[in-house]
């Protein structure tokens, strides 16, 4: 069997994208954007901080310049100092103590010099060099222009910049000494009181030197928290370093102060990154989880939808495809079949399945159906085919084969397979299979029509004795047409009750052949076809439920007639369909009332099939009618399924032994023993017995011997119109009188 598997890959991919990829990409993108923004703002704040740091370094250097000048003033603006330098024989010791070494000890200046008005060196030293001339030679170059400028200003008495805090004018510059950056600051040695006279421009000049590397950098690095603060010559700065230019007044670039920049943004970012990463990861994980949940939910929905689809297309019990699925499959096969291939539809129906269900119960019936489905599939094997369950015990199959012989062999195999006994829940069960086959003619595309033909063929297979298959032929169509016609005509007959009449077959006591009652038997006189036998039209009436109005017509008519026959029992046949109707007992009662017949004179004949009713209506109808005195007889006793077992549960007053038992009397393997057992059983249960179809005096004798109560048959009387019964009664009365 083959099913076209649903191709769902593109839908699956789309679902993956919608459920997983997009939300995750969104979350990841969002996290990334957030992180990039953070990096950008960290960079911004780092840049700002670096600008500030550079400004700060520049400021520190220029403050240092001012500071050195201020340091100098503590000794250079001093009467004693002026006197000491201008003295004929200057006291070198004193000068060194107060304007030389002292500056180094006290202010950490690296060099100090005193230059006379003739620009000769009076005294001096420079870090690492004791010889004062050599020392001065090292600074002479940058000092010269400053010295000239300062003297010019002194001469002009230019005291720009002098105020409460700055006591004297001075010149200072940043320069390079032996490749080391340094501040050189020049201050005149002048009187603090103004009492010591000096010629302007001819003052002694004090020069202070402070190198801007080494201890200076250590100190400001410590005080201002600069990391790796260093001096770098031009072209020697490293990559990541921040730097501040050191420029001489002339604009010449001396070098740079460099340091590892403090990057607050990066610092914040670095410390926040693990947390942010954690948050991002959690966010992604959460999104992933949500997406996974959504995915599972949608997967679940899809599964449920597939399940529903499967359920909509298959039978829950056997898991076979159902009618809808079969129809679409068959339509598909017919639409695209190759012209050389034969396509056949098989309509399969189980024989006696209903009996199994009724006697052994539905669970056994269900299990049997599952087994049957297995055997059908097994037998069909791998041929291009589909088996479907289309009703209670009805199956259909579509078969593709090269020739009709193959199809016939297949049907034969199916019938044989189902005939093999089943064992269900420990019960050995034997059932049968009837199959109707319709082979699609060339060009036939109508699946419905083909199935209909298979159904008709099935009807014929059953009519021909079950446990076999029949292949549809056009003559079958004719029968179906006739059946439809009958249905239509019967519908008319029920409305125009002139066509319906009732015959009565007398029932006699076996003992003295005395007339005890009559059985009402319906007769239909068809306007064109004449009298129709009930065996033909009753099944049609039952199928179409026309049996209900028909049964009522017969019952009313028979009751009316029976009113005229006091002392006789009136037997009326009732179909199972009628008894299953909720209102049956009420309708019978109202007819009895309307006609005025004593309910005790009415006996309703039912068959076992009426008792298979599960709704309970049938039992309630019987109980209600028995309560008002109506009696019941079990018709065709012995032909049904497990009659003896059934009898235990039945609420009837009489059994009618079927004609087929009576027929066997006197023949080899005859049924006398069975009939004896039936009668004994009935008597044990207090039931009366009637034997039907007595045609010979011998049969009558046997029944008399066996203790049967009443008999009925052509030997004694055929069914006859009411007038004939009247005449018969009149004859009896006359005979009685006579
Ligand atoms: P049944 O209830 O078993 O009725 C007995 C049938 O056997 C009648 O056939 C009767 O004519 C026939 N019969 C009686 N004695 C002999 C005999 O000695 N030899 C032979 N060969 N046949 C004999 P009928 O009237 O054709 O009825 C056939 C069946 O139709 C009935 O079988 C009954 O099942 C059904 N039927 C008839 N009338 C009604 C009705 O009003 N309502 C329902 N629901 N079913 C009816
Ligand atoms: Ca009957
Ligand atoms: Ca009968």
Residues 6+ apart with CB under 8 A from 648: none
| Average pLDDT for 701-713 | 96
Residues 6+ apart with CB under 8 A from 391: 323
Each residue's pLDDT tens digit, 17-55 = 777 778 778 878 888 888 888 889 988 888 888 888 888
* Rounded distance from Cα 573 to ligand 3 centre (Å): 9
Could you tell me which of 151, 152, 85 has the C-alpha nearest to residue 112? Answer: 85
Q: Could you identify the atom of ligand 1 that is nearest to the CA of residue 656?
A: 3
Of 291-305, 454-468, 701-715, the poorest mean pLDDT is in 291-305
Q: Where are the alpha helices (DSSP H) in 394-527?
A: 404-419, 447-463, 474-495
Share of the chain above pLDDT 70, in %: 95
User: Which residues does residue 520 pair with via DSSP β-bridges, in sequence order?
Assistant: 504, 572
* Rounded distance from Cα 508 to ligand 2 centre (Å): 15
Q: Whose CA is nearest to atom 33 of ligand 1?
A: 573
Q: How far is CA 527 from CA 151, 247, 638, in A?
A: 159, 137, 37
Residues 6+ apart with CB under 8 A from 583: none
Burial (Cβ within 10 Å: 0-12, 13-18, ≥19) of residue 589: middle
Domain residue ranges in the chain = 56-258, 323-473, 493-727
**Sign of the CA dihedral running 35, 41, 46, 49:** negative
Name all residues whose Cβ lies below 6 A of ligand 1: 505, 521-522, 533-535, 538, 551, 554, 573-575, 605, 635-636, 692-695, 712-714, 719
Q: Whose CA is nearest to atom 37 of ligand 1?
A: 521
Could you tell me which of 709, 700, 598 has the C-alpha nearest to residue 656? Answer: 709
Q: Mean pLDDT across the chain, nearest whole number?
A: 88
Q: Are strands 205-211 and 171-177 parallel, antiparallel or unpaired?
A: unpaired
Could you tell me which of 460, 532, 459, 521 has the C-alpha nearest to residue 490? Answer: 532
Could you tell me which of 189, 165, 46 has the C-alpha nearest to residue 112? Answer: 189
CA–CA separation, 404 vs 472, rounded Å?
Answer: 12
Q: How far is CA 215 from CA 220, 221, 229, 231, in A?
A: 9, 10, 11, 12
CA–CA separation, 641 vs 360, rounded Å?
Answer: 12
Q: Are 359 and 642 in contact (CB under 8 A)?
A: yes
CA–CA separation, 574 vs 552, rounded Å?
Answer: 10
DSSP codes joined into one string, 616-675? SHHHHHHHHHHHTT-EEEEEEETSSSSHHHHHTT---SEEEE-HHHHHTTTSTT-SHHHH
Burial (Cβ within 10 Å: 0-12, 13-18, ≥19) of residue 191: middle
Residues 6+ apart with CB under 8 A from 71: 103, 106, 107, 109, 208
User: What is this structure's pTM?
Assistant: 0.52
Identify the band that residue 195 occupies on the pLDDT scale cut at 50, 70 and 90: confident
| Chain centroid to CA 492 | 56
CA–CA separation, 416 vs 397, rounded Å?
Answer: 16
CA–CA separation, 588 vs 624, rounded Å?
Answer: 10
Q: Where are the alpha helices (DSSP H) in 225-361?
A: 264-313, 323-335, 353-360
Q: E-assigned strands of 514-568? A: 515-526, 530-532
Q: Could you identify the atom of ligand 1 that is nearest to the CA of residue 534?
A: 30
Q: Which of 543, 572, 573 to mutate to test the pocket of ligand 1 (most atoms within 8 A of CB)?
A: 573
Greater pLDDT, 692 or 237: 692
Q: Which of 507, 517, 532, 534 to mutate to test the pocket of ligand 1 (most atoms within 8 A of CB)?
A: 534
* Rounded distance from Cα 521 to ligand 1 centre (Å): 6
Tell me what pLDDT residue 645 has: 56
Q: Is 69 helix (H, G, I), strand (E, B) or coil?
A: helix
Q: Are strands 385-389 and 342-351 parallel, antiparallel or unpaired?
A: unpaired
**Sign of the CA dihedral running 284, 290, 293, 299:** negative
Q: Which of 505, 519, 521 to mutate to test the pocket of ligand 1 (most atoms within 8 A of CB)?
A: 521
Q: Whose CA is nearest to atom 35 of ligand 1?
A: 534
Q: Are 302 and 364 in contact (CB under 8 A)?
A: no
Q: Are 262 and 225 in contact (CB under 8 A)?
A: yes
* Rounded distance from Cα 693 to ligand 3 centre (Å): 8
* Domain spanning 323-473: CATH 3.30.70.270: yes
471 pLDDT exceeds 90? yes
Q: Is 76 helix (H, G, I), strand (E, B) or coil?
A: helix
Residues 6+ apart with CB under 8 A from 141: none
Identify the band that residue 131 occupies on the pLDDT scale cut at 50, 70 and 90: confident
Which ligand gives the minimal distance to the CA of 535? 1
Q: Could you identify the atom of ligand 1 that is nearest to the CA of residue 658?
A: 3
| Terminal Cα-to-Cα distance of the chain (whole angstroms) | 82
For the beta carbon of residue 279, count every other beta carbon within 10 angstroms.
13
* Rounded distance from Cα 519 to ligand 2 centre (Å): 7
Q: Is 444 helix (H, G, I), strand (E, B) or coil?
A: coil
Which ligand gives the minimal distance to the CA of 571? 2
Identify the band that residue 145 occupies on the pLDDT scale cut at 50, 70 and 90: very high
CA–CA separation, 388 vs 397, rounded Å?
Answer: 6
Identify the band that residue 501 occupies on the pLDDT scale cut at 50, 70 and 90: very high
453 pLDDT exceeds 70? yes
Which ligand gives the minimal distance to the CA of 658? 3
6 pLDDT exceeds 60? no
Q: Are strands 342-351 and 530-532 parallel, antiparallel or unpaired?
A: unpaired
Could you tell me which of 224, 49, 208, 53 has the C-alpha nearest to residue 139? Answer: 208
Tell me what pLDDT residue 363 has: 92
CA–CA separation, 588 vs 551, rounded Å?
Answer: 10
Tell me what pLDDT residue 376 has: 94
| Average pLDDT for 190-211 | 89
Tell me what pLDDT residue 9 has: 52
Residues 6+ apart with CB under 8 A from 110: 104, 126, 127, 182, 209, 210, 211
CA–CA separation, 513 vs 717, rounded Å?
Answer: 11
Q: Say which CATH superfamily domain 493-727 falls into.
A: EAL domain (3.20.20.450)
* Rounded distance from Cα 535 to ligand 1 centre (Å): 8
Q: Could you identify the atom of ligand 1 that is nearest to the CA of residue 636?
A: 3
Q: Whose CA is nearest to atom 20 of ligand 1?
A: 693
Which ligand gives the minimal distance to the CA of 553? 1
Q: Whose CA is nearest to atom 46 of ligand 1?
A: 573
619 pLDDT exceeds 80? yes
CA–CA separation, 114 vs 102, rounded Å?
Answer: 13
| Average pLDDT for 182-195 | 91
Residues 6+ apart with CB under 8 A from 519: 504, 505, 507, 571, 572, 573, 605, 712, 719
Of 1-15, 422-436, 467-481, the poorest mean pLDDT is in 1-15
| Chain centroid to CA 177 | 85
- Alpha-carbon Rg for the chain, nearest whole angstrom, is 64
* Rounded distance from Cα 533 to ligand 3 centre (Å): 14
Instruction: Tell me the CB-side half-sphere exposure of residue 738, using CA atoms within 13 A.
Output: 6
* Rounded distance from Cα 599 to ligand 3 centre (Å): 22
């Amino acid at each position: 069997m083959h099913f076209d598997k649903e191709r769902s890959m593109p839908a699956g991919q789309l679902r993956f994208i919608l459920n997983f990829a997009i939300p995750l990409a969104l979350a990841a993108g969002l996290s990334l954007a957030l992180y990039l923004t953070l990096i950008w703002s960290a960079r911004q704040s780092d840049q700002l901080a670096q600008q500030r740091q550079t400004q700060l370094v520049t400021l520190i250097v220029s403050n240092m310049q001012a500071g050195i000048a201020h340091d100098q003033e503590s000794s250079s603006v001093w009467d004693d100092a002026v006197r000491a330098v201008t003295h004929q024989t200057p006291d070198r010791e004193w000068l060194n103590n107060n304007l030389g070494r002292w500056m180094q000890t006290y202010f950490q200046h690296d060099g100090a010099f005193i230059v006379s008005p003739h620009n000769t060196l009076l005294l001096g030293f420079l870090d690492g060099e004791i010889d004062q001339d050599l020392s001065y030679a090292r600074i002479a170059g940058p000092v010269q222009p400053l010295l000239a400028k300062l003297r010019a200003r002194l001469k002009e008495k230019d005291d720009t910049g002098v105020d409460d805090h700055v006591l004297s004018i001075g010149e200072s510059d940043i320069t390079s000494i032996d490749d080391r950056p340094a501040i050189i600051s020049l201050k005149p040695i002048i009187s603090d009181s103004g009492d010591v006279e000096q010629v302007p421009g001819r003052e002694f000049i004090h020069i202070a030197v402070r190198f801007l590397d080494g201890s200076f950098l250590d100190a400001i690095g410590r005080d201002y928290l600069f990391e790796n603060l260093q001096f770098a010559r031009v072209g020697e700065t490293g990559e990541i370093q921040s730097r501040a230019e050191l420029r001489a007044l002339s604009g010449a670039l001396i070098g740079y102060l460099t340091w590892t920049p403090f990057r607050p943004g990066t610092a914040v970012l670095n410390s926040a990154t693990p947390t942010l990463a954690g948050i991002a990861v959690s966010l992604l994980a959460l999104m992933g989880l949500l997406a996974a949940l959504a995915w599972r939910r949608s997967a679940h929905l899809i599964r449920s939808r597939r399940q529903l689809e499967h359920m909509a297309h298959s039978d829950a019990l056997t898991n076979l495809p159902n009618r809808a699925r079969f129809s679409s499959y068959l339509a598909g096969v017919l639409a695209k079949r190759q012209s050389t291939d034969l396509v056949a539809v098989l309509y399969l129906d189980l024989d006696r399945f209903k009996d199994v269900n009724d006697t052994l119960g539905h669970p056994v019936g269900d299990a049997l159906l599952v087994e049957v489905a297995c055997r059908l599939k097994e037998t069909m094997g791998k041929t291009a085919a589909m088996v479907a369950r289309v009703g209670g015990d009805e199956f259909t199959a579509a078969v593709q084969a090269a020739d009709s012989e193959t199809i016939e062999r297949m049907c034969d195999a199916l019938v044989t397979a189902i005939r093999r006994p089943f064992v269900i829940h420990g019960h050995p069960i034997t059932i049968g299979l009837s199959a109707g086959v319709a082979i699609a003619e060339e060009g036939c595309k109508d699946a419905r029509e083909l199935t209909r033909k298979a159904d008709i063929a099935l009807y014929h297979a059953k009519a021909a004795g079950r446990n076999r298959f029949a292949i549809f032929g056009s003559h079958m169509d004719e029968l179906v047409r006739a059946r439809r016609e009958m249905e239509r005509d019967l519908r008319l007959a029920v409305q125009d009750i002139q066509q319906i009449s009732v015959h009565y077959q007398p029932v006699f006591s076996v003992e003295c052949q005395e007339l005890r009652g009559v059985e009402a038997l319906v007769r239909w006189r068809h306007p064109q076809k004449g009298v129709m036998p009930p065996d033909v039209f009753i099944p049609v009436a039952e199928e179409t439920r026309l049996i209900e109005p028909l049964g009522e017509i017969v019952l009313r008519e028979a009751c009316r007639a029976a009113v005229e026959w006091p002392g006789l029992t009136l037997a009326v046949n009732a179909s199972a369909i009628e008894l299953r109707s909720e209102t049956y007992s009420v309708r019978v009662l109202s007819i009895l009332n309307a006609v005025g017949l004593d309910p005790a004179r009415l006996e309703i004949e039912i068959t076992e099939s009426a008792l298979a009713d599960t709704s309970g209506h049938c039992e309630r109808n019987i109980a209600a009618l028995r309560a008002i005195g109506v009696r019941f007889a079990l018709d065709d006793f012995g032909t049904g399924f497990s009659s003896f077992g059934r009898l235990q549960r039945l609420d009837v007053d009489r059994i009618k032994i079927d004609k087929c038992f009576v027929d066997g009397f006197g023949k080899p393997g005859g049924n006398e023993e069975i009939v004896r057992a039936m009668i004994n059983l009935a008597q044990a249960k207090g039931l009366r017995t009637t034997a039907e179809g007595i045609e010979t005096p011998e049969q009558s004798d046997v029944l008399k011997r066996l203790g049967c109560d009443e008999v009925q048959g052509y030997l004694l009387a055929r069914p006859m119109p009411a007038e004939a019964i009247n005449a018969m009664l009149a004859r009896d009365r006359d005979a009685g009188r006579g």
